[in-house]
């Protein structure tokens, strides 16, 4: 049994009654149906509300937890990435440093003084492909001179040079900086791991006559690594007359 309101007087009565006990108004099936519809609507609203709570609010909370976990994972990834990158960067830095590190140096000093010309060593530099010796040439003569490193060796091994590896013009009464660059591939070919000394022969040309004026003779330049124990490639002795010695190392391409 359900309680309904009388359409006439508004009093609450049983839905089983055929008429209102208060005013005598008859209770029609339409009145009962309307109430039942209202009751069903109320039930539907209640169920819908529960569905919203269960299907929307609760999953929303789960979504928040899921988002929180995802954020944590992302944060973890970021931390992990930041942890790895500095190590890789450090390894690359160490690698580059090892490639560029060369503790070899040459003290600044005068290596030639003659023919009114002074030549001094200014420094030594090493990079990935070359070693470089810097010179200062002072021309106190009356001639306009050009200078070439006509021939040179490293650790007593000739370096297959080109006479224009160092080409420097110095006008009369002037000074000029010059650089001699030597390819590291040459040093590797002859298994030179530590540069201990250079032997250099400079030629000076009279630029006005395009003719050799003089040479400096062989000049030895020692590095901080210098000692008398210079390792030189050796092979099978095929000729030796005490002044000239020839050793066989290898062959290629006939």
- The pLDDT of residue 40 is 57
Q: Which tens digits make up the pLDDT trace of 185-197?
A: 988 888 888 999 9
Q: Which residue ranges in the chain fall short of pLDDT 70?
A: 1, 28-42, 47, 51-101
Count of residues for the chain? 254
Q: Residues 6 or more apart from 173 whose CB is under 8 A from it?
A: 139, 140
Q: What is the distance between the terminal CA atoms of the chain, rounded to a whole angstrom?
A: 119
- The pLDDT of residue 78 is 40
| CA-to-CA separations, 28 to 19, 40, 174, 198, in angstroms, rounded | 8, 19, 129, 125
DSSP per residue over 137-198, as a string?
Answer: EEE-SSS-EEEEEEEEEETTEE----TTSSEEEE-TT-EEEEEEEEEHHHHHHTT--S--EE
- The pLDDT of residue 9 is 80
């Amino acid at each position: 049994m359900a309680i309904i309101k009388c359409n006439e007087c508004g009093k609450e009565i049983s839905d089983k009654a055929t008429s209102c006990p208060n005013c005598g108004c008859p209770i029609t099936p339409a009145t009962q149906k309307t109430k039942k519809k209202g009751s069903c609507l109320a039930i539907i609203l209640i169920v819908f509300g529960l569905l919203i709570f269960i299907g929307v609010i609760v999953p929303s909370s789960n979504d928040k937890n899921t988002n929180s976990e995802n954020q944590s994972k992302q944060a973890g990834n970021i931390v992990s990435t930041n942890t790895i990158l500095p190590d890789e960067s450090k390894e690359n830095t160490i690698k580059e440093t090892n490639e560029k590190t060369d503790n070899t140096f040459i003290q600044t000093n005068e290596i030639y003084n003659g023919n009114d010309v002074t030549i001094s060593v200014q420094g030594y530099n090493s990079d990935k492909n070359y070693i470089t010796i810097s010179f200062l040439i002072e021309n106190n003569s009356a001639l306009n001179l050009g200078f070439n490193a006509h021939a040179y060796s490293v650790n007593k091994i000739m370096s297959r040079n080109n006479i224009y590896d160092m080409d420097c013009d110095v006008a009369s009464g002037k000074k000029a900086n010059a650089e001699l660059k030597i390819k590291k591939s040459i040093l590797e070919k002859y298994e030179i791991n530590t540069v201990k000394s250079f032997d250099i022969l400079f030629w000076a040309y009279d630029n006005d006559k395009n003719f050799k004026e003089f040479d400096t003779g062989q000049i030895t330049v020692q590095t901080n690594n210098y000692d008398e124990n210079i390792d030189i490639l050796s092979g099978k002795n095929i000729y030796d007359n005490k002044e000239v010695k020839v050793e066989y190392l290898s062959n290629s391409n006939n």
